[in-house]
Chain A
Amino acid sequence: MAKQLPVKPEDVRSASWIEFEKIPVNQYQKKPSEETKKFSKDDMLRIYRDMRMIREFENMLYSIKTTNSYNGLEYNNPGPAHLSIGQEAAAVGQAYNLDKNDFIFGSHRSHGEIIAKSLSAIQKLSDQELLDIMEGFLDGVIWKIVEKNNAGKDRSVKEMAIDFLIYGTLAEVFAKNTGFHKGLGGSMHAFFLPFGVYPNNAIVGGSADISVGAALYKKINSKPGIVVCNIGDGSMGCGPVWEGFMMAAMDQFNTLWEGDMKGGLPLVFNIMNNQYAMGGQTRGETMGYEYVARIGAGVNPDQMHAERVDGYNPMAVIDAMDRKMNILREKRGPVLLDTVTYRYAGHSPSDADSYRTTEEKEMWERQDSIQAYRSDLVMAGVASESDFEAIDEFVVNTVTAAVGLAINPEISPRMDLNAAPDAIEKIMFSNQKVAKMEDRPADMLQSKEDNFRVQQIARKTRFAFDEKGKPVSKNKVYQLRDGLFEAIIDKFYEDPTLVAYGEENRDWGGAFAVYRGLTEAVPYHRLFNSPISEGAIVGSAVGYAMSGGRALVELMYCDFLGRAGDEVFNQLPKWQAMSAGILKMPVVVRVSVGSKYGAQHSQDWTSLCAQIPGLKVVFPVTPYDAKGLMTSALNGTDPVLFFESQRIYDIGEQFHEGGVPAESYEVEIGEPDVKRAGSDLTILTIGATLYRALDAAKIFQEQYGISAEVIDARTMVPFNYEKVVESVKKTGKIIVAGDACDRGSYLSDLARNINDLCFDDLDAPAVVLGSRNWITPAFELEDHFFPQADWFVDVYHEKIQPIDGYVAKRSFNDVEIMRRNRLGV
């Protein structure tokens, strides 16, 4: 939706042909020895050294995995090892011109890329810069080990930086506390930010949309460097990868983003095309593209500048990266590279290679990139065998020394969870308050006072009732959506890195009018419509935050959460802890829980999110709480799943005395709130069920003389039980209610903990009142599905304390519980 871009029928309906450019396939065919003008002998030897280092590292791991020994050193490594033996030239060629400002992201098979990119960064950094990095990283723990081991040896800073790299990576692979991330990432998630090596990802294609976010960060915040996303040919069948392509190639970068921001993303999707997706053969069996490079032609008119590159010749890859980096500097990205290569080892050491022949492997080994490179340079007289032998010796010694250190339990212990049982607990959340991720003026289109929505809200009544206690009309009352808007626009003016995007976020003002007015205030590059790509919406936010920015993204309907499953469950919650607390994840994901719209638009999936460690989950249902919790979420550094209810975007503030403050304030995440005081029964609610619970409280009071205390959970994770326990001690009776289907819900979790915490005070077990385990039926039938006010009385009568003469309309007795569960409904 962009009014600037009319959709004209004469354009859309006119006849023409779509033309494609030719897609280059392995057009670079020079031997290394033909490039002596471009590369000095030292450069050439260093390329060899880097390839050899990767080969040795991977061979060492293969040897340890399969024989428990390497070079006379014994070790058992039960962890994963997805090796890239055979793919070295592709990694080294790619990294050759990249420096620390360029970010690479990887896959489960990225040891080679980590080593290549880091060796390239080490080469380009000064000794002082290297020392600063090594001494500063994790309090210098790794550096001290390397320094001590090299004491008295004649080793340069650069050489020690290589020791640092190989040891830190290996200790990480071996899950040692002295690894780059204390062993919490491990082989498939190793990385090292100071060299521009960003997380590798154990989910196939997982880095694709994350990389888009990193590229957005570089572009939107005018940061130097490019982003390279290394994923395999196997990921070409993954939806989120395509979502990443679509989002990276959005027309709006050129048609709607303005000034400096105009132009494409600085992003290379590099497909490490090793021909196999685990065991599936991508070309000829599981895919139909024939060439990965062909895909670019389907994405945008630039065909993503796609080409196939010979990943067995490092010079071909260097040449391709050179040309592609120029394209990115001209803001014509993104780029797709189809880098062909081949892995000799199996998918993992347990792979029996039953899907390929020995002859096939031997054909590739005969053309081995490292051997071929060396032979060519020796035959051409560029370097001598002894030059290479010296490098071989350096490499073997370096890897052997690192293994010796990494397997030594005294030098390289594991994280001691006996001595420090909270070591992992402490890094699940960063729990920081950072008002702005960067200190510079925020790019905005107008002053806040000039914004029409701000002016409109200023005329509203900030409490739901007037002085006489009469309800203020919907048009005049400050609504829940206004609370969200105020918190968000304030943050836009405060934090220059804040971006917000999702579906219909601009112009439309968000599907539920929360963002009305933002379009006028916020420039395109900070507030934009994304494709309907929930995976990429959340995944890119992860990459944006990982790179140093703050993102607020929206999934519109809670029901669409499944579309972002990997991003919400595997990426967003994990990286803070997997980085040992080095990465921060200031991402707020707005999720709106629907109603009236049937089975696929009316589900409360808060419980799914609360189940995943590493996410904060909030669900405010009053304007005061919505504004305060949004402010807290946006000030924080942790990922927050921010649930909203479509039932009540227009509701006014009925609880907070004095109404919703105009100034900024925080409601602490994790604190429930007593919305109605009472003495006989506690009702704890999640989400908009609060209002039905309040109706129930009225029935209890007026018809049965039972005084109900109603507590709004507000937050699910974290959750402070103090107020609930205090209330239950008083009442001895509790109903926990929400709109989630009750089976396996967070309601049950609350009830279980209340039973534990308050057992001696309870007059009946905590009762759970959730929705039925059905599809959500049509609006007209919803009263049979979502808990209603009279359900509270029924369940109280049947499970807590029978009311004289009362006849329950619904049954909650044991027979009914057994029956429903037996049928699975």
Chain B
Amino acid sequence: MANAVIMPRQGQSVESCIIGKWHKQEGDAVKEGDILFTYETDKATFDETAKQDGTLIAVFFEEGDDVPCLMNVCVIGEPGEDVSEFDPRDAQETEEETAVDSPASAAAVTETATAPSQTEAAAVAGAMPDAISPRARNLAEKAGADLRFAQPTGPKGRVIERDVQKLIDEGKLVTQAAGFAHDAAVAGTGIGGRVSVADISGAVAVGADAPAAAIPAAAVTAGPESYVEKHTNIRKVIAKSMHASLSQMAQLTLNSSFDATDIMALRKRLKAAGEKGLTADMGFALAEKVPTLNDIILYAASRVLPKHPGCNAHYDDEKMTIYNRVHMGVAVDTPRGLMVPTVFNSDLMSLSQLSTSVKEVVAGCQQGTISPDLLRGATFTVTNLGTLGIESFTPVINPPQTCILGVCGITTKAREVNGEIKTYPSMGLSLTFDHRAIDGAPAARFLKDLTTVLENFSLLLMQ
């Protein structure tokens, strides 16, 4: 029996998604679990898998098309079955003057076509409900509940708070829905901040104008002297967040450095121990997986931060929200742009646990499989340009956080010790803080404490 595959809605604020790549072509046999296509929101990329065995008998959109959420994308069934009832172009034709020749050319998705998505989708099992109370909607967003599973029990068929609570209790969460892509390939997101409706409608417009632009690698129109690369959604979100951050906050940066002799020696010893065959099983987890300099700084920061509440906080015009736990944002450079996954409760982790967690989230970002839940909620961020030889810089705060720590490269510095000039490895740290939230001296004291801890890091580990 023929069933349509719809464009899923990944979160309440998402109104449409761009098809990234078709893994199956019309006419291909598919098995349950096969990846049909990948699709991209402004924040991440997901895979859509087949929910049944059969043949891909119709494909309504091609790569690069911006498809309204909940709209039919393709049909799986038996060859020869009638697919006309699933064709979303039927609805579009009445609204659009442009004739659509074939399913493949349904690329011309216009903004008008985004409107009727909910009513159309209502016929499909697991579609978004027609009415959701604001409270239920907020709770779903906060908890990541997948509203497609909601059973409305409110007046007039409205999804109300208790229906969302039920989803949460049953574990029907958006991240899990995304988890259908068990062998997912890519995911991505922008830095912090909520994505506004304006962002989304912008994304729709871009998709309509230049569908291919959604995937940066394919978006290049080469020219002899220059070429144009349209912004991806992630780029736009980054641009907007960065500009908002700089235009709305009172940021300034303090630069400092510390003697990295101790941490370098520590890493050297751990490496040597690893080479000698000391393993985690024997209790030498650090020897088996030697933490990076960045891990060490993250660890030191998550120990120092709780003593500097203003630096581990969120600021808005009304209040400061000061966190008792440190949720460490780690800036990661990915092919899709800057991403900042969060390592939650990093202050409770051992150096080895922290190192492992960081590796995981960084890998998730690189591969695009990172869960959207791990792309928010940080209370402090560390960004590292040290490997690129940067000696000091001005990191940009990820609002509503109050601080961001920039890690710089190691340079050799000289100093006088007992009348002798001696050199030592010096590592730079650049702390940008929001002067609306904290004053210069407390920020400097945080940085001072941090450098002290780092210079005596092996002692800290013994605590």
* A interface with B by C-beta (< 8 Å): 732, 759-764, 798-802, 813-814
Chain B residues with CB under 8 A of A759: 134
Picked from A760, A801, A814, the residue with its CB within 8 Å of the CB of B138 is A760
Report the Cα distance A764→B155, complex, angstroms: 9
Chain B residues with CB under 8 A of A762: 133-135
Report the Cα distance A443→B155, complex, angstroms: 63
Picked from A761, A802, A813, the residue with its CB within 8 Å of the CB of B135 is A761
Report the Cα distance A732→B161, complex, angstroms: 8
How far, in Å, is B218 (CB) from chain A's closest CB? 39
Smallest CB gap from B138: residue in A: A760
Known: A763-B161, A801-B162. A732 touches B135 (CB 8 A): yes
Known: A732-B161, A801-B160, A801-B162. A761 touches B155 (CB 8 A): no
Chain A residues with CB under 8 A of B158: 764
Q: Would you call A761 and B160 a contact (CB within 8 A)? A: no
Smallest CB gap from A812: residue in B: B155
- State whether the Cβ of B351 lies closer than 8 Å to any Cβ in chain A: no
- State whether the Cβ of B339 lies closer than 8 Å to any Cβ in chain A: no
Smallest CB gap from A814: residue in B: B156
Chain A residues with CB under 8 A of B133: 732, 762-764
Report the Cα distance A763→B154, complex, angstroms: 9
Q: Would you call A763 and B160 a contact (CB within 8 A)? A: yes
Q: Would you call B154 and A764 a contact (CB within 8 A)? A: yes
> Chain B: interface secondary structure?
helix
Interface size, B (range): 10 to 19
Given A759-B134, A761-B138: 19 more A-B contacts, CB < 8 Å: A732-B133, A732-B135, A760-B134, A760-B138, A761-B135, A762-B133, A762-B134, A762-B135, A763-B134, A763-B161, A764-B155, A764-B158, A799-B155, A800-B155, A801-B154, A801-B162, A802-B153, A802-B155, A814-B156
27 interchain pairs (CB within 8 A)? A732-B133, A732-B135, A732-B161, A759-B134, A760-B135, A760-B138, A761-B134, A761-B135, A762-B134, A763-B133, A763-B135, A763-B160, A763-B161, A764-B133, A764-B160, A798-B155, A799-B155, A800-B155, A801-B153, A801-B154, A801-B160, A801-B162, A802-B153, A802-B154, A802-B155, A813-B155, A814-B156
Chain B residues with CB under 8 A of A764: 133, 154-155, 158, 160
6 shortest A-B CB distances, which residue pairs?
A: A763-B135, A732-B135, A763-B133, A763-B161, A760-B134, A763-B160
- State whether the Cβ of B136 lies closer than 8 Å to any Cβ in chain A: yes
A-B contact count (CB 8 A): 39
How far, in Å, is B7 (CB) from chain A's closest CB? 26
Report the Cα distance A802→B154, complex, angstroms: 6
Chain A residues with CB under 8 A of B161: 732, 763
Report the Cα distance A799→B160, complex, angstroms: 11
Report the Cα distance A762→B137, complex, angstroms: 10
Q: In chain B between 58 and 93, which residues have their CB closer than 8 angstroms to a CB of chain A?
A: none
Interface centre among A760, A763, A802 (most CB of B within 10 A): A763
Q: In chain B between 150 and 175, which residues have their CB closer than 8 angstroms to a CB of chain A?
A: 153-156, 158, 160-162
Chain A residues with CB under 8 A of B162: 801
Interface centre among A760, A764, A798, A800 (most CB of B within 10 A): A764
Report the Cα distance A493→B184, complex, angstroms: 83
Chain A residues with CB under 8 A of B138: 760-761
Chain B residues with CB under 8 A of A763: 133-136, 154, 160-161
Report the Cα distance A813→B157, complex, angstroms: 13
Report the Cα distance A762→B160, complex, angstroms: 9
Report the Cα distance A798→B156, complex, angstroms: 9
How far, in Å, is A667 (CB) from chain B's closest CB? 28
Contact with A along B114-144 (1 / 0, CB 8 A): 0000000000000000000111101000000
Report the Cα distance A761→B137, complex, angstroms: 9
Report the Cα distance A760→B133, complex, angstroms: 8
How far, in Å, is B140 (CB) from chain A's closest CB? 12
Smallest CB gap from B136: residue in A: A763
Contact with A along B427-444 (1 / 0, CB 8 A): 000000000000000000
Report the Cα distance A354→B136, complex, angstroms: 68
Chain B residues with CB under 8 A of A802: 153-155
Chain A residues with CB under 8 A of B154: 763-764, 800-802
How far, in Å, is A795 (CB) from chain B's closest CB? 10
Report the Cα distance A501→B227, complex, angstroms: 89
Chain A residues with CB under 8 A of B156: 814
Smallest CB gap from A765: residue in B: B133
Report the Cα distance A799→B154, complex, angstroms: 8
Report the Cα distance A762→B154, complex, angstroms: 13
Report the Cα distance A589→B380, complex, angstroms: 59
Smallest CB gap from A797: residue in B: B155
Smallest CB gap from B133: residue in A: A763
Chain B residues with CB under 8 A of A798: 155
Interface centre among A760, A801, A814 (most CB of B within 10 A): A801
Report the Cα distance A533→B306, complex, angstroms: 72
Smallest CB gap from B158: residue in A: A764
Report the Cα distance A759→B135, complex, angstroms: 8
Report the Cα distance A802→B162, complex, angstroms: 11
Report the Cα distance A761→B155, complex, angstroms: 17
Smallest CB gap from A729: residue in B: B135
Report the Cα distance A299→B136, complex, angstroms: 69
How far, in Å, is A762 (CB) from chain B's closest CB? 6
Smallest CB gap from B160: residue in A: A763
Chain A residues with CB under 8 A of B155: 764, 798-802, 813
Chain B residues with CB under 8 A of A801: 153-155, 160, 162
Chain A residues with CB under 8 A of B136: 763
Report the Cα distance A759→B137, complex, angstroms: 11
Chain B residues with CB under 8 A of A813: 155
How far, in Å, is B122 (CB) from chain A's closest CB? 20
How far, in Å, is A721 (CB) from chain B's closest CB? 16
Smallest CB gap from B153: residue in A: A802
Report the Cα distance A764→B135, complex, angstroms: 8
How far, in Å, is A671 (CB) from chain B's closest CB? 21
How far, in Å, is B135 (CB) from chain A's closest CB? 4
Report the Cα distance A759→B161, complex, angstroms: 14
Chain A residues with CB under 8 A of B135: 732, 760-763
How far, in Å, is A352 (CB) from chain B's closest CB? 58
Report the Cα distance A823→B435, complex, angstroms: 62
